[in-house]
Amino acid sequence: MSLLEVENLTKHFGGLTAVRELSFRVEEGMIMGLIGPNGAGKTTTFNMISGFILPSEGTVRFEGKVLNGMKPHEICALGLTRTFQIVQPFPEITALENVMIGAFVRYSNTTDAKRKAMETLERVGLAHRADSLAKDLPLLALKRLEIAKALATEPKMLLLDEVAAGLNSVEVEEVLDLVKELNDDGITFLLVEHVMKVVMSLSDRIVVLNFGEKIAEGTPQEVSRDPQVLKAYLGEEVFVA
Amino acid sequence: MTTGLFLQALVSGILVGGVFALISIGLTLIWGVLKIINFAHGEFLMIGMYVVYFLVAKLGWDPYLTLIVSVPALFLVGAGIFELTIRPILDHPAMNQIMLTVGLSLVLQNLALMFFKADVLFAQTKYNAVPISLGPVVVTAGQLIAFVGSILAALLLYWLLQTTDVGRAIRAAAQNRDAAILMGIDVSWTYLLAFGIGSACLGVAASLMIPFYYVSPTVGTFFGLIAFVIVVLGGMGNFLGALVGGLIIGLTESLGAAFLPGSLSRVLTFLIFVLILLYRPEGLFGRRQR
Amino acid sequence: MRFARKPVVMAVILFGLLLLVPAFSGQYLIHIGVMVFLYAYLATAWNILGGYAGQHSLGHGLFLGIGAYTSTYLFVRLGLTPWLGMWVGGAIAAAAGWFIGYLCFRYGIKGPYFALVTIALAEAAVYVAANIQAIGGAGGLEVPWKGNDPLIMEFGSKAGYYYVALIFAFLGVVLALWIAKSRFGYYLVSVRENEDAAEALGVDTMKAKLQAATLSAFMTALGGTLYAQYFTYMNPHSVFGEGPSVQILLFAIIGGIGTVWGPFVGAVILVPIAELTRAYLTGSFAGADLLIYGLILVLVMLFMPRGILGALEPIWKRQRSEEVAK
């Protein structure tokens, strides 16, 4: 049994079909990449898996359990946590308190949640900003915070939505390292990414979407040589030689 | 339930609905352009009504002559209050804006209480002295003129918004503020105008209402709330919606008062309000935003 | 109940000192005290839904009225002491709060639209109550005076009401303190700050909001009973409508919305000002206090949008980061 199973996932928005019969599996311990041109349906897929949107057809299974119809907070409690493409901090509270919100799903006691949150901040390298208000943090710190919040929920699997967007190459390296470390610690990943360097170097396998359909799946090497994939990205300067 | 009573209520409802519509058009303009819910809208009307009452009862003016005073006066009041208190907080959270206008309404209402006491004032003019019979229905000239006047004012405003440059600028700023700025529209000026014009509508309404309605410090509370109901019913920022909504609520109030015991007609209005917010929050004519 | 020692100690000392006030004060000062603590309590109750959870209700008068009318009705009809009738009112209000919350949150009504719904319901309650003759209709209801009998919440001197109001305010603040440090409190804040992010992190946002609405309504209704007993008279306009609703939240907003002590501070500062104004202008006009409230509200929104405590926060933050640095 795969950790995450997506089967025939489909979403219609009125006359538009954003995602069509998408199927893939993510095995435990894997880093799976989800790529595709803009508008390919990646975020919609994420939203369906994490419970923010109801699928029109198809099923999502996590550890064998059907997620369709569950609320996002229930899915998080099961061990599947997502981050957001545009960072979504809680602006008026501190970084520590931000992460505590995530920790509370496992620790109902405030002291324990605080301890877990502090540990998590150290893990992502944000401990020195624990008492800063989230609204005062720069983008890179906010990205780390976004991961920290999700991490504090002690997930079995993390869905990262364009975590590298807006970062310079040094910052991207740091995020890359962090994800690798977390993966080594046992967390499974599904990454949506545009920054090819991240996807290609991190992913064990990649699923490629275009116009809502899966057009390729395989290892980074296989996918980067797939003519369908190249055609979809034609005109976009994405592949590092 | 006699037909006579029904017809009377129907006609009164439509007539008063016209005035409701005019009051609401001002609010929907402000709400649509500035995205601000002005809780002091009713109190602005109250100010207008006191001004008109004074001119009519103390100086003997013909109520409709007061238009030349009430319209500019309310425009200035609106523009002035906007500049002083609302412009500074345009980018603040919506709740702060609401609380500010709530504060304004408290101030205005209690200032009126201070100056004019709680007295209910009614101006006797020739427009409510002689009743007019339209078949089984009886109305006063004041009511008829108010209805016609409201519709005319509404149409005039509509024409202004559609055809003049100023009107188009206001509509542009309402639809997309950033795009409007990029197109060279002085958005901050249009905000001022929108607020002023929205308030000026109340000046018209005041002159039209004094011939058949009383004024007191609390008169604004009722009309303010009614205006909210109508704006939500018709759709925020929607002109036609305010017009139709005004007529609907006018009928609801009137028919409700005729056929429901006590003051339950008011409850009916609020019930409609809550239902619309629950099931069709964009209003009858609005576009679904979610 | 695990929470920081220092604030609770502070609260106990403060309220302990306040207990001594009646011994040194005249009737008028004690009256101001009753008003201060009653409104501090009501504002604290409102703040749980409006400040912590960020759902600004402009119609809390509904719950105030339910509390006031229920306990009084049971007192008049069945001779039930308001001390018990209070809980019945609280239960009814809690149910109402839950129901209104459910309707609104289920349909995604938030922000200004939520405020409008609550106003509409509160104003509708005025008219409904005015039409129910069993509770006095538009004329209102009077609380029968049976003489000095603490068991039915009636006191010969104002000091009795003072102590009751003080205890209400004290318990309100303690509860607010506890919630602020609990998971529930953090969840409410997360809902206020970013509902989607909260959901994604395992917060059942619907449940949190409903709990806040229910608790806030319940607490407000309890205060309604004290209100009824102290003023011995209520009518639909004095408890249900927009007026009382706005008064309740005024102190929370001006004192510092979303903070523990904000509502209390707001009441402590504003109520005496309003009461004194009313005393000096007696006969001149009723509504002097509302005028002052309105003026201060406008000024605060313009210059201190986060309230008095909110404006003082930077000073504390500096203190706190110095502590952390040690």
Which one of C58, C294, C298 has the shortest CB-CB distance to B110? C294
Rounded Cα distance between C274 and C282, Å, is: 12
B114 contact C CB<8A:
yes
Please report the pLDDT score of residue C12 as a whole number: 87
Pure H helices in B176-238: 177-182, 187-209, 219-234
Find which of C46, C100, C103, C127 to mutate to test the B interface (most B CBs within 10 Å of its CB): C127
Task: Give pLDDT tens digits for C55-75.
Answer: 999 999 999 999 999 999 999
Q: Where does the pLDDT of residue C5 fall: very low under 50, low under 70, confident under 90, or very high at 90 and above?
A: low
| Cβ neighbours of residue B123 closer than 8 Å, sequence gap 6 or more | B53, B56, B57, B63, B210, B211
Tell me the one-letter amino acid at B151: I
The most distant pair of C-alpha atoms in chain B lies apart, rounded to whole Å, by 60
Instruction: Examine residue C253 and state whether it is found in any structural domain, yes or no.
Output: no
**Residues B94-122 pLDDT 10s:** 888 999 999 999 999 999 988 888 889 99
Distance CA C205, CA C211 (A): 10
**How is residue B178 written in tokens?**
């950033």
C270 found inside a domain: no
- Residues C221-239 pLDDT 10s: 999 999 999 999 999 989 9
The confidence band for C321, taking pLDDT boundaries of 50, 70 and 90, is low
CA atoms within 13 A on the CB side of B86: 29
Is residue C214 pLDDT above 50, yes or no? yes
Other CB atoms closer than 10 Å to residue B124's CB: what's the count? 10
Q: Do C298 and B104 touch (CB under 8 A)?
A: yes
Region label for B130, one of left (φ > 0), alpha (ψ between -120 and 50) or beta (otherwise): beta
Residue C155 has pLDDT above 80, yes or no: yes
Distance from first CA to last CA of chain A, Å, rounded? 36
Measured CA distances, B167 to A48, B33, B189, C80 (Å): 44, 11, 12, 64
- The CATH architecture of the domain made up of B11-93+106-279 is Orthogonal Bundle (1.10)
Tell me the pLDDT tens digit for each residue of C82-124: 999 999 999 999 999 999 999 999 988 888 889 989 998 998 8
In a domain, C222, yes or no: yes
A224 against C325, higher pLDDT: A224
Q: Do chains A and B touch (3 or more CB pairs under 8 A)?
A: no
Question: Nearest-CA neighbor of C185 among A108, B94, A152?
Answer: A108
pLDDT of residue C270: 92
Q: Which two tokens stand for residue A130?
A: 């624990």
Whether B94 and C111 lie within 8 Å, measured CB to CB: yes
Chain A residue closest in CA terms to C3: A110
On chain B, the residues whose CB falls within 8 A of the CB of C49 are: none
pLDDT score at C174 = 94
Return the residue matching tokens 């209805």: B147
C320 interfacial to chain A (CB closer than 8 Å): yes
Mean pLDDT (whole number) for A43-56: 94
Q: Identify the closest residue of chain B to C124 by CA–CA distance.
A: B267
Q: Total domain count for chain C?
A: 1
Assign B216 a pLDDT band (cuts: 50, 70, 90): very high
Distance CA B140, CA A27 (A): 81
> Considering chain B, what percentage of its residues have pLDDT values greater than 90?
49
What average pLDDT does this structure show over B159-169? 86
Mapping DSSP onto H, E and C, the string for A72-116 reads HHHHHHHCEEECCCCCCCCCCCEHHHHHHHHHCCCCCCHHHHHHH
Mean pLDDT, chain B, whole residue set: 88
pLDDT for B108 equals: 95
What pLDDT does C283 receive?
Answer: 61
C-alpha gyration radius of chain C: 19
The answer as to whether C189 is a domain residue is: yes
- Per-residue model confidence as pLDDT tens digits over A53-83: 999 999 999 999 999 999 999 999 999 999 9
Could you tell me which of C312, C200, C320, C190 has the C-alpha nearest to residue C261? C312
> What's the ipTM?
0.91
Q: Does B260 touch chain C (CB under 8 A)?
A: no
Q: Which pLDDT score, from 0 to 100, does residue C1 have?
A: 37
Is residue A241 pLDDT above 50, yes or no?
no
The full set of domain ranges for chain A reads 4-27+45-191+203-216
pTM attached to this predicted model: 0.90
Range of the domain at C162: 5-246
Q: Coil, strand or helix: which one is B245?
A: helix
| Res. C201 pLDDT band, cuts 50 70 90 | very high
Q: Which of B70, B93, B73, B91 is nearest to B81 (CA)?
A: B73
- The superfamily in CATH containing domain A4-27+45-191+203-216 is P-loop containing nucleotide triphosphate hydrolases (3.40.50.300)
Hey, which chains touch C, using 3+ CB pairs under 8 Å?
A, B
Domain annotation covers residue C299: no
Q: Which residue of A has its CA nearest to C314?
A: A133
Q: Where are the alpha helices (DSSP H) in chain C?
A: 5-19, 21-24, 27-47, 61-78, 82-106, 111-130, 158-181, 183-193, 195-200, 205-231, 236-239, 242-256, 262-280, 288-303, 307-325
Q: Is the pLDDT of residue B203 over 60?
A: yes
